[in-house]
Amino acid sequence: MSLALDVKAGFAKRPRSPPPKYFYDALGSCLFEAIGRLPWYRITKAETRLLRRVAPAVAGALRGPVRVVELGSGSGVKLALVVEALHARRKKTDVHVVDLSAAAIEASLERLAKIPGVSARGHRSTYERGLREAMFGPRGKGDCLVLFLGSNIGNFDPADATRLLSAVRRRLRPGDALLLGTDLVKPERKLLDAYDDPLGLTAAFNLNLLLRLNRELRADFDLGAWAHRAVWNARARRVEMHLVSLKSQCVRIPGARVVADFAAGETLWTESSHKYEPDDVDRIAAAAGFRRERRWVDGGARFALTLCRAVPAPGAEEDS
Ligand code: AVJ
Q: Which residues line ligand 1 (CB under 6 A)?
A: 35, 43, 150-152, 154-155, 195, 202, 205, 271, 273
Q: Can you give the pLDDT of all 320 residues of the chain as single tens digits?
A: 599 999 999 999 999 999 999 999 989 999 999 999 999 999 999 999 999 999 999 999 999 999 999 999 988 999 999 999 999 999 999 999 999 989 999 999 999 999 998 999 999 999 999 999 999 988 889 999 999 999 999 999 999 999 999 999 999 999 999 999 999 999 999 999 999 999 999 999 999 999 999 999 999 999 999 999 999 999 999 999 999 999 999 999 999 999 999 999 999 999 999 999 999 999 999 999 999 999 999 999 999 999 999 999 877 765 54
- Contact criterion met (CB below 8 Å) for 282 and 304: no
At 125 the pLDDT is: 94
Report the sign of the C-alpha dihedral through residues 52, 36, 304, 306, in that order.
negative
Q: What angle do CA 50, 139, 90 make, to 5 degrees?
A: 45
What is the rounded radius of gyration, in angstroms, for the C-alpha atoms of the chain?
Answer: 20
Q: Alpha-carbon dihedral of residues 215, 221, 222, 227, nearest 10 degrees?
A: -110
Model pTM score: 0.96
List the one residue out of 218, 212, 292, 252 whose CA is nearest residue 25.
212
Q: Whose CA is nearest to atom 2 of ligand 1?
A: 152
Distance 141 CA to ligand 1 centre (A): 36
Residue 33 CA to residue 53 CA, distance in Å, equals: 22
Of 21, 23, 33, 273, the one to substitute when testing ligand 1's pocket (max ligand atoms within 8 A of C-beta) is: 273
C-alpha distance from residue 40 to each of 104, 180, 189 (Å): 23, 22, 10
Interval between CA 89 and ligand 1 midpoint (Å): 33
Q: What span, in angstroms and rounded, lies between the C-alpha atoms of 254 and 38?
A: 36
Cα–ligand 1 centroid distance for 151 (angstroms): 7
User: Which residues of the chain form beta strands (DSSP E)?
Assistant: 66-71, 93-99, 118-124, 144-148, 177-183, 226-233, 238-245, 249-253, 258-262, 267-274, 290-298, 303-310
Question: Following CA atoms 286, 278, 164, 112 in sequence, which dihedral angle do they give, to the nearest 10 degrees?
Answer: -110
How many whole angstroms separate alpha carbon 268 and alpha carbon 261? 11
